[in-house]
Amino acid sequence: DSAGEAAPVRFFDRYPALVTGFFFFMWYFLNVIFNILNKRIYNYFPYPYFVSVIHLLVGVVYCLVSWAVGLPKRAPIDSKLLKLLIPVAVCHALGHVTSNVSFAAVAVSFTHTIKALEPFFNAAASQFILGQQLPLTLWLSLAPVVIGVSMASLTELSFNWTGFISAMISNISFTYRSIYSKKAMTDMDSTNIYAYISIIALFVCIPPAIIVEGPQLIKHGLSDAISKVGMVKFISDLFWVGMFYHLYNQLATNTLERVAPLTHAVGNVLKRVFVIGFSILAFGKSMTSN
Ligand code: 3PG
């Protein structure tokens, strides 16, 4: 056997906790950069439906190129799996667009504060939709987050209802995404699954973007952005924000494959703490609509 091939495999098997830690680190790192770049774009190009399409489009092109070179090898999909993935992808698309409507409307730190309620929504869905009895201690452990988010909302300087309600809808969408994901558990690896979800979600996002933003984009949206920052920066910003969006989501999905869902959910809240911190560093405390 060749030592060259065996070495990385042995490393992955021998230090699983280290590898999982690295996945978390990369997920957070890519997400922080995504959030800062994304908000910079909204500050000169406030079209979240269109930018959401670009995020997914760049990811889909990346997946198609990856499949073409066999890294990873494309796993074949059948109609049964497709049927299971469609609801996951529709919720992914809805949560994605509504998160972005919120990012464009209020401070990044505020959107992520509201999105910290996602585990609370998950718990509510488990108890009231799936009928599972959750222990009181779990509800009590979520209480400080709910109280904290309420206080933050009352004092937030960038507060507006569009930002608040769309972030809440994204919480509901991502809760349904996790419910449908459980039903769609298969043998397929997480990278291939996320590639298929991205493709379906892209098709879901295109019609609302055309209906909601199409006319304004053609009339002045695109030309305004190009006259503000130039064509090269505009295109490269959109390309890079799409790459970071795809890679952080792929890493998040790969991490979920390695840890329990609850660990992943707690990790996602911790991620928001980092994003809130770094976005305040990047944009200042939300005195403006940043
Ligand atoms: C998105 O654009 O889909 C949002 O960034 C999703 O946010 P999250 O991955 O931090 O929940």
What are the pLDDT digits (tens) for 225-274? 999 999 999 999 999 999 999 999 999 999 998 999 889 999 999 999 99
Domain assignment of residue 290, yes or no: no
In a domain, 133, yes or no: yes
73 Cα–ligand 1 center, Å? 26
**Contact partners, residue 224, CB within 8 Å, separation at least 6:** 45
CA 5 – CA 285 distance, rounded (Å)? 49
- Residue 288, in any domain of the structure: no
Distance 96 CA to ligand 1 centre (A): 6
At residue 288 the predicted structure's pLDDT band, cuts being 50, 70 and 90, is very low
The Å distance, Cα 99 to ligand 1 centre, comes to 6
The pLDDT of residue 273 is 94
Residue nearest to atom 6 of ligand 1 (CA): 96
- Structural domain harbouring 113: 3-283
Is the preceding peptide bond at 215 cis, omega within 30 degrees of 0? no
Any atom of ligand 1 within 6 Å of the Cβ of 96: yes
Number of H helices, E strands in the chain: 12, 0
Q: What atom in ligand 1 is closest to the CA of residue 95? A: 3
Cα separation, 250 vs 266, whole angstroms: 18
Q: What is the pLDDT of residues 118-130, one digit of tens each?
A: 999 999 999 999 9
- Domain count within the chain: 1
State if residue 92 touches ligand 1 by the CB under 6 angstroms criterion. Answer: no
274 domain-assigned? yes
115 lines ligand 1 (CB under 6 A): yes
Q: What's the CA-to-centroid distance between 270 and ligand 1, angstroms?
A: 14
Alpha carbon distance 91, 179 (integer Å): 10
Tell me the C-alpha distance between 5 and 1, whole Å. Answer: 8
**Atom of ligand 1 minimally distant from the CA of 92:** 3
Residue 289 lies in a domain: no
39 CB contacts (<8 Å, ≥6 apart)? 103, 108, 279, 282, 283, 290
Q: How far apart are CA 248 and CA 24, in angstroms?
A: 10
CA-proximal residue: ligand 1, atom 11 (nearest): 115
Q: DSSP alpha helices (H): ranges in 45-78?
A: 48-68
